[in-house]
Chain A
């Protein structure tokens, strides 16, 4: 239970009373307990219970590893995640190297490359990718026609690896480039001064300094792929862990222990990779850029190198854009089967979704919008309590909210089903586990860590002296927060809102388990439903285009807000 301790900034009170911050802190703690900690804890606990007697047992794990399908799923999930990291690294490394080491005109193209994949959820592009790269997809049809062979890009697990690494390589690119950029020029100059240069210097000094960033990005890719449900489901690859958990719970039933065992394994792996990436970063804050110092020096490319760089980038660009191109072809094509391109083009699929499926769009806007709002409110409150108050246990709010990172969507979904199953809501809202509001809460909990980071960053940029100045001029704590802190944080809060909104809008793994009926379903679920049948692919792709537009707009907006905020911050600090 949070209580007040006297921090240097707080007036001593004779009688311990609950301040506004303490009340807010307790409320947030209760929310997180109810909708994150307890549901997940229950899932982990049930994995150890005998399904019939309720006694504690390891039998479920034994059953799990004695079943060929589950062993295979386990190995497959591991293999797919590891290979996705490898392929994503192969894509990201040359891009990061080119942008940070050379004066290169294509740097803008590379930056776009780092964003394009993120604006399309991987499962949306998955079907389009099989039409482009599948056994009878465009590329293989052409290869077979002209060269007489096919490449099994999309066969089984390969498809998941390809789709996932194309989608998630930006995590490595962004982290690695940031690390490279954060290396102070003097690090490199000191090496040159001592007689080192070229690739040898890159290998001995530059890359090791960027290593923590790379590993953090790689760990993130690993765990995202390991936990992902949508992509394997849409590619019809079921022998992986997350799809197995989903299929067991939805097919066999809420009491089937295998779903819980798989959830347990997913959580353990998530926690382990997050912990590993934390270990990589700990004590290795290699961000060495000095005040007034520059990043690594860049050199000009000669003509041959320039061609090589462009060729690399165009190749990667083609690969990265292929889900988008495929999706467009699918959305505007009539029939697309056994041919490199659709037979004809039409806007009919958009007509279909605008007449039949507008509820998906409205549901998405309401769900994601509300979830994002909850996230920034909670995010700001937690950030303020953690950074600016001396509330006992305040760090735990941060830990609890951040713990959502380690909880795969499937697991949260299963947790809600189990916990809220059979709880009747008043006012005729039905069962709590199938009530649409629970989807919003699931989305909010899933996106909270990101919004929280945005709010923390925004608050940290508000100098404490600005608040103290207001207080010394007679403003109360509340009115300081209202008139000084919140306005200064606006940019960060908005960016957090937009990011939460855009990513919640295309979330599938938790919502797929919680959608009670089709009329309550959001876009992502609608896409999933459509994509089940060949006839539904056209409208499904059209919905996918809508989803991409929403996420792209959101990403663009948050980018703009962050940039504007950054330029405002820098004008303020320039005046010193």
Chain B
């Protein structure tokens, strides 16, 4: 079922709904065989971008290259990209088998060739035994798999997944995202995955693009984006962050509250520093920034404190170990900040 992998290149793409600009100056290169995520809050334009690649919505300005072919002006049915819809969009009047066969029938493939391909696609998602059911008789997870089978049956060059896990419950979501990933690896399909859930993006994608207000904020591997966010939006959107204002003197970042934090990658233009909650340690005594526990939340493996300091309230996570009593609200504590690898922001 594998075929030659193709990459996707998007050049200076602009798109508006009437007078509302939805996408602006999108530049993006997705490598062949890559699992790529579009991550962003609702209204960020991530779904619009995905739909533009599939050919839905208003015609954009700019180029969308799949392999060497510019598809930006082609109708959806000529693009050969497979899309899995958020709602799955299974046709309720057709059995599972007929749903999966549909795309092949539209390609005028002889019936003798369609049947084995349909079975292979259903086999791939592990649903061959349900081939003659109607979509309404399937669970959410099964419908999701049928939608996938229907899409991969046409052997698309590119697989587009629009929030594919959002209609599943939490446990199934984790299982399905693993299955999605292993399926993608097996087929080697260049895949784009749209989600608003950073955990989904982090756990599945090779690289991702974070979108906000129709603009790509940053592109990189999940770890790069978490450790070195390019701006405050990315820092805040990917995980919890303490973002402190301040200035830079060449070797240290000096916060408003007067802390001198040693940083490894000095930048003269730095205006903010990103401190992740787990990079701050709390102790009852000794050296460090003075603070007072304001709130405590028990999260299971971790304990999260909100601590009042000269730089305002900081979020600090500590590992919870059984038998170690936590600090109570009101306790005076000292904070040690691991700032060497902290990201500096210029916006």
User: Which A residues are within 8 Å of any B CB, using their own CB?
Assistant: 184, 186-187, 189-197, 200, 204-205, 208-209, 211, 283-284, 286, 288, 290, 293
A205 contacts which chain B residues (CB < 8 A)? 91
B327 in the interface, Cβ–Cβ < 8 Å? no
The reply to whether A195 and B92 form a contact with Cβ atoms under 8 Å apart is no
Complex contacts, B76 vs chain A, CB 8 Å: 189, 192-193, 197
A-B contact pairs, 11 of them (CB 8 A): A186-B86, A187-B89, A192-B56, A193-B77, A193-B151, A194-B154, A195-B77, A204-B102, A209-B91, A286-B93, A293-B87
Which residue of B78, B89, B90, B103 has the most chain A CB atoms within 10 A of its CB atom? B89
In the complex the two chains form, is A196's CB within 8 Å of B93's CB? no
Please classify how large the interface on chain B is, using the bins under 10, 10 to 19, 20 to 34, 35 or more: 20 to 34
- A209, closest chain B residue (CB): B93
The answer to whether B89 and A196 touch across the interface, beta carbons within 8 angstroms, is no
Q: Is the CB of B82 within 8 A of A193?
A: yes
> What is the minimal beta-carbon distance from B163 to any residue of chain A, in angstroms?
11
* B102 touching A184, Cβ below 8 Å: no
Q: Are B81 and A284 in contact (CB under 8 A)?
A: no
Q: B residues near A, CB below 8 A?
A: 54-56, 75-78, 80-83, 85-87, 89-93, 102-103, 106-107, 136, 150-151, 154
Task: Look across to chain B and name the residue whose beta carbon is closest to the beta carbon of A190.
Answer: B89
Alpha-carbon gap, A209 to B99, bound state (A)? 13
Which among B75, B87, B93, B106 is the interface contact of A194 at CB below 8 angstroms?
Answer: B106
Which residues from B are CB-within-8-Å of A187? 89, 91
Closest partner residue, chain A, to B137 (CB atom) = A283
Residues of A within 8 A of B87 (CB): 184, 186, 288, 290, 293
Q: Write the nearest CB–CB distance from A132 to chain B, whole angstroms.
A: 42
A286: chain B residues within 8 A (beta carbon): 92-93
Known: A192-B56, A193-B81, A288-B89. 7 other contacts (CB 8 A): A187-B91, A194-B77, A194-B102, A196-B103, A197-B77, A204-B102, A288-B87
Which single residue of chain A is at the shortest CB-CB distance from B82? A193
Chain A CB within 10 Å — which of B102, B136, B150, B151 has the most?
A: B102
A310 vs B137: C-alpha distance in the bound complex, in angstroms? 43
Interchain CA distance A283-B93 in the complex, whole Å: 10
Q: How far is the CA of A69 from the CA of B136 in the complex (A)?
A: 49
- Chain A: minimal CB distance from B321 (Å): 42
B103 in complex: contacting residue of A195, A200, A284, A293, CB < 8 Å: A195
Q: Are B136 and A283 in contact (CB-based, < 8 A)? A: yes
Query: Are A208 and B93 in contact (CB-based, < 8 A)?
Result: yes
Instruction: Establish whether residues B107 and A195, one from each chain, have CB atoms under 8 Å apart when the complex forms.
Output: yes
Could you tell me if A186 and B102 are in contact, using CB atoms closer than 8 angstroms? no
Contacts A209-B92, A209-B93 given; does A191 touch B102 at CB 8 Å: yes
**Does the CB pair B102–A192 fall under 8 Å?**
no
Of A189, A197, A211, A283, most buried by chain B (CB within 10 Å of CB) is: A189
Q: How far is the CB of A294 from chain B (nearest CB, A)?
A: 11
Contacting residue for A189 out of B56, B82, B93, CB 8 A: B56
Report whether B91 and A189 are in contact in the complex, using a CB–CB cutoff of 8 Å. no
Q: How far is the CA of A117 from the CA of B83 in the complex (A)?
A: 44
Cα distance, A200 to B78, chains bound together (Å): 15
Closest to B108 in A: A195
**How many Å from the CB of B327 to the closest CB on chain A?**
38
Expressed in whole angstroms, the minimum distance between the Cβ of B255 and any Cβ of chain A is 40
CA distance A196 to B150 in the complex (A): 14
- Please name all residues of chain A whose beta carbon is closer than 8 Å to the beta carbon of B93 when the two chains form the complex: 208-209, 211, 284, 286
User: Which single residue of chain B is at the shortest CB-CB distance from A196?
Assistant: B106
Output the residue of B76, B78, B151 with the most chain A CB within 10 A.
B76
List the B side residues contacting A192 at CB < 8 Å. Answer: 55-56, 75-77
B75, A197: Cβ atoms closer than 8 Å: yes
Contact B83 A189 (CB under 8 A): yes
CA distance A192 to B81 in the complex (A): 10
A195 to B154, CA, bound (A): 9
In the complex, which residues of chain B have a beta carbon less than 8 angstroms from the beta carbon of A195? 77-78, 80, 103, 106-107, 154
Chain B nearest CB, measured from A201 CB (Å): 8
CA distance A208 to B93 in the complex (A): 7
